[in-house]
Each structure stands twice: as C-alpha cells, then as structure tokens.
Amino acid sequence: MWRLLLIGVLIICLAWAAPYDPLKTNTSNQLQAPSAAHPFGTDILGRDVLSRFLHGGQQTLLSASAAALIAIIPSTGLAFVAAGDTRLQRIQLLILQALLAIPNLLLALVILTVLGRSEVSATVAVGLGQIPVFTLVIRAAILGVQSEGYIESARAAGANPLWLATRHVFPNLIPTLATYGAVTFSYCLMNSAALNFLGMGGELGKPEWGVMLAEGRAVFRAAPWVALPPGIAITALIWSINRWAVAQRGFR
Amino acid sequence: MTVLMAAGRMIVIIWLAATLTFFLLRLHPGDAVEAQLIQVGAASDVIAERRSQLGLLDPLWLQYLRFCAGLLQGNLGVSLITGQLVSEMIIQRLPPTLELAFSAGILGSVLGVLGGVGAAVKLPYGLSWVAKINLSLALSVPIYWSGTMALLAVSYALPTGSGAEISRFVLPVLVLAFHMSGAVGQMVSTNIRLAMDMDFVRTAHAKGLRPVIILWRHVLRLGLLPTITVIGLQIGFLLGGAVIIESLFVRAGLGRLLLESTLQQDYPVVQGIVVLAAAVYAVVLSTCEALYRLIDPRITR
C-alpha cells in the first residue's frame, strides 16, 4: 500500500518537472515524433506530449482522489448512522438498491445534467456515483463485525453505542475501508477519465489523461505517441491497485 | 408467493429509482428551454409561454404526479429541445444498443465462464496463465483505450474503406464482451477455487476419482451456480459501456442519445433513458435471482 501511495505522490509531484508549458501551442512543430527535445513527441497543436502527460497525471490523480473521498466519507457515515436502527437500515437498503439499479456511469451523467459540464461537476458526479456500492460494502462489513461475540459482551457490559462504534467497530473496518477504498479510487480514475474522454470534463484541451486519449484517438494512425502514454499509465495504475486489492482479500 | 413478493419488490425499486431520478434532475436551477431560447435571443414572455406549455411552471408535486401517471401509460414526456416524444426518440435509438448489448452480453458470459474456469484450474501449455492475464487485462484496461486500440489494429490490418461493417458491429461487440468477461471471469474463478477447497471435493480425491470427473461433476456444478447472478449484474456495465462504445464507434444508439441530452441538459430525455435502464436492470437481476433459487437445491422453496 505504501508503495502505491508513493507512486501516486510521485506522479503528482512530477508535474513540476515538466520541461515545457503543457498548454503552449507551436504550429511549426506539429505531430513531431519523439526526439531528444521532445522525448514523447508533440501533438496536433505542437504541444509537448511529455509535459502534457506529467501535468495530466497530476490533474487526473487529484480529481480521482477527490472523487474517491466524495464517495468514501459520506458512505461510511451513512452506513454507521443506519447501523444503529433496524428500521432506518431497511429504508436505506431499499433506497440504495434503487440507486444501484441505475448504472454507475448513467448516474454520473444524471448528476452532470444537473450540475452542467465542468471539471468540478465531473469529479463530484463520479464520486457521488460510487456512493451506493460503497455504502453497501461498509454496511455488510459493519454487520459482520456486529455479530462478533466481543461486541455483544461489550454491549452487555453497558458500553454506549458511540463508544462501541468508535472503539470496537471502526478499527475493525479499517482493512475493508483501505482495500475497498483503493478499488473505489480505481473506479473513480477510470470513470473520471471516461467523462473527460467523452468531453464532459469542462474546458477542452486541458492536460488530463482522458482528454489526451480523446485527442490522441483522432491522430492515432499518424502519431500514436500522443495517446500511448496516458493509456498505458491508466491501465498500469488500475492493474496494480487491483492486484494489491486481490492480495489483501487473501486469494492467490 | 415468493415470486409475487419478488415482483412487488422489483416494482418498488423501479418506482424508487424513477422518483430519485426525477427529483435529482429537478435540483437543476435553470432548464434547457431557458438556456436554448436565451441563446437564440428570445424575449422573456416567449420563454415563459414555452415553459407553461411544457408544464414547467406547475408546482413540483403536480409535475411529479404527471410524471408518475405518464410512466404508468408508458409516456415519458417530451424533449425540451426538439419537442419530440421521449418514448419515440428512445424507440428510434433502441435497436443499435439492444443489438450491441445482447450480442456482447452473450459472448461476454461465454468468454467469462471459459476464462474463469481456465484461470482457476491447471491447464497444460500455460493456458491458465493466458486466461489469468486476460482476466486482469479485461479488468484494468479502460474500455475507451481498448476500443481505440482495436480500431487502430483493424485500420492497419485492412485496406481503408473495406472494414466498415467490422468496425461498426463486430469490433464494438468484441470490445464490450472482452470487458464483461473480466468481471464474470473473476467471479467464476473465485467461486471455483472456493469450491475446490470444499470437504466433499477432498473426499472425492481421496476415494480416487479422476480429477476431470471431480471437476465436471462436483466443482463446476457448485462453482458455476452464482454465475447467473453475476451475469445479471453485468447488465448495468453493458448499459454504461454502451455509452462509451457508441461514442467511440459512432453508433447512433441510446448511449449516444443520452450523451447528447446530457450535454444539452435536456432532462426529460435523460430521465426517460435512465428510468428505462433502471427498469431493465431491475427486471434482469430479479429474473436471475429467481432462476438461481430455482436451480440451487439448497435453497428451499
């Protein structure tokens, strides 16, 4: 996990090492193949792909992290609030199931329809779209912990619910939160790049991996170096997060 | 009795999903009529007239009641932009999406089951490794990226102009099926590995049954059972994937319509498509669960 976090921080910090301005166009320098001056080549507007890739990494990771937090914090809260009361729990379950019936990306699009197209609303939409699933996972984990014997004995000993929740239940949820939080992050990464790819992420032409993929797709045959770095980077990140999460669950 | 209860729950879920979508979309301060007419430079009384025509000035509860009544009659309202019936627009755009989702769903399920079994058991010639790597790739490659790569591969392999049919139908189906096979395959291989650890499988080994027979008769039967539900769950993925695939491969389907309507903030259309998607999802999932109960002898009816 620390290794994954380190890679993330590294990608975010590397934006400051970009050799050129990611937005600076240069019409006399379009679609140059990789060279010493431009290690990843240039795109259709003559912008340096390496610089765009590095800045895009920062942008993409930051908005995916923000989206993941928007998903994780309210979900955990909701699951805890409902855990105290069975009636509330049943109502919550029904609403969650209804929200789950709306496919993830479609829910994000509904939220985008309301908020309008911008970078912030894309992030919020992606994060909110993950809340139903995440709440259900945490709910299941809380139910699992609640059925343990020590909770029952603590309750019998007269511990108040708040004490139980913070002292006994929450610490036992941390592994689930970490593992499933990482998985949620990878969904957020995939979905926010998808929305940007579809042109829903606000200003066009900003350095972001999804936007770069869309730009690179148009010129892929002539200049594959534009779309390759962000495509490979997204895949590699999601691959490593998945592998780590699977290892945590104890399979393989 | 259980069938009736399951059907009732399904209807409640569809209704709740529709209600949530309705109110979520009403949170929007302005609306498409205003945005569109202001752009054309219409006077404020024209805007007001258009809005009252569409019933947007009525109180929210009345709009909601009208929405519910319409829903029962299969009337999803009219588009704010074109004034066309939403149900008509949906029916017009449905066939390409249906074709895509259906073909990809079947192919993806088959590939997923084969891949999942392949990843869980030991196969000769490194086939298990191939299956494992395929599984991880299907789960971690973004769909818009693999779609782009597939388009590129075809454009290199075929002379320009001849691959139109392939890139319009075969390729989107293959890409969507590949990604669906990832989720299905992971579930299958997990379940099969769990089944292989069961006591009765160890007993079968101990009494000297051949591994192929154990796999066929004991492991697969137990391990493949939950697959039905997993495949049902993938409907949501197929519908979401269709949005991306249709935009990537330029197919005039429902996903494209949804995307266009989102960009124009034409919320009756967004609402119609999302409610339809939720209904399809709920129906398919309940059917899968019912089938699962029917097949699994351990669940008493």
**B27 inside 8 A of chain A by CB:** yes
**Cβ contact, residue pair A243, B244, below 8 Å:** no
Residues of B within 8 A of A239 (CB-CB) are 136-137, 140
The DSSP code for B125 is G
For tokens 């949820």, name the residue. Answer: A173
| Cα–Cα dist A163/B7, whole Å | 41
Q: Contact at 8 Å (CB) between A116 and A54? A: no
Global pTM reads: 0.82
pLDDT digits (tens, 9 = 90+) for B215-261: 887 788 777 777 887 888 788 788 888 888 888 888 888 888 988 88
Of A103, A199, A221, the CB nearest to B240: A103
Cα–Cα distance for residue pair A117/B240, rounded to 1 Å: 19
Query: B273 vs A106: CB contact, 8 Å cut-off?
Result: yes
CA dihedral of B12, B18, B24, B26, whole degrees rounded to 10? -130
Tell me the residue type at A146. Answer: Q
Which tens digit of pLDDT belongs to each residue from B116-174? 888 887 777 778 888 888 888 888 888 888 888 888 787 777 666 555 666 678 888 99
pLDDT digits (tens, 9 = 90+) for B271-282: 889 888 888 888
Q: Smallest CA–CA separation between B193 and chain A, in Å?
A: 9
Residue A125 lies inside a defined structural domain of this protein: yes
ipTM for this prediction: 0.80
Residue tagged 């000993």 (tokens):
A157
CATH number of domain containing A131: 1.10.3720.10
Interface of A with B in 36-95 (CB under 8 A): 94-95
Give the residue among A120, A147, A195, A179 at the shortest CA–CA distance from B262.
A195
Closest CA to A123 of A56, A57, A68, A52: A68
> Within a domain: residue A222?
yes
d(CA A204, CA B102): 34
Q: Taking a C-beta distance cutoff of 8 angstroms, is the pair B284, B98 a contact?
A: no
Alpha-carbon span B301 to A14, nearest angstrom: 60
Q: Which of A133-137, B31-35, B75-79, B151-155 has the highest mean pLDDT?
A: A133-137
Contacts of A186 in chain B (CB under 8 A): 140
Q: Which residue shows structure tokens 């200049």?
A: A223
User: What is d(CA B12, CA B283) in angstroms, rounded to the nearest whole number?
Assistant: 12
Asked if residue A114 belongs to a domain, the reply is yes
Among candidate residues A29, A28, A78, A21, the one with its CA nearest the CA of residue A50: A21
Which residue in the set B136, B155, B237 is minimally distant from A242, CB to CB?
Answer: B136
> What secondary structure letter does DSSP report for B296?
-
Residue A55's identity, in one-letter code, is H
Measured CA to CA, the distance from residue B235 to residue B229 in angstroms comes to 10
Residue A20 belongs to some domain of the structure: no
**Cα distance between residue B44 and residue B49, in whole Å:** 9
Distance CA B112, CA B191 (A): 13
Contacts of A242 (CB under 8 A, 6+ apart): A183, A186, B136, B139, B140
- Report the residue from B16, B190, B265 with minimal CB separation from A116: B265
B193–A235 CB contact, under 8 Å: no
Q: Is residue A101 less than 8 Å (CB to CB) from chain B?
A: yes
Q: What is the pLDDT of residue A214?
A: 83
Does residue A18 lie within any of the structural domains? Answer: no
Q: Do A113 and B237 touch (CB under 8 A)?
A: no
Collect all residues of chain A within an 8 Å Cβ-Cβ radius of residue B265.
113, 116
* pLDDT-based confidence at residue B1 (cuts at 50, 70, 90): low
| B271 neighbors B66 (Cβ within 8 angstroms) | no
pLDDT of residue A16 exceeding 80, the answer is no
If you search the block for the tokens 């990537």, which residue do you land on?
B248
Could you list the residue range(s) of the whole structural domain that residue A188 is in?
A: 48-251
Where b means 16+ CB within 10 Å and e means fewer, B73-108 reads eeebbbbbbeeebbbebbeebeebbeebbebbbebb
Q: What is the count of residue pairs from A and B with beta carbons less than 8 Å apart?
A: 138
Q: Is A222 on the interface with B (CB under 8 A)?
A: no
Structural domains in chain A (count): 1
Residue A27, in any domain of the structure: no
Maximal C-alpha separation, chain B: 87
User: Average pLDDT in the B35-48 region?
Assistant: 66
Query: Is A155 part of any domain?
Result: yes
Q: What is the mean pLDDT of residues A79-93?
A: 80
Q: What is the pLDDT of residues A207-227, one digit of tens each?
A: 888 888 888 777 777 777 778
Residue A239 pLDDT > 60: yes
Residue of A nearest to B119 (CA): A252
pLDDT > 70 in chain A, percent: 90
A4 lies in a domain? no
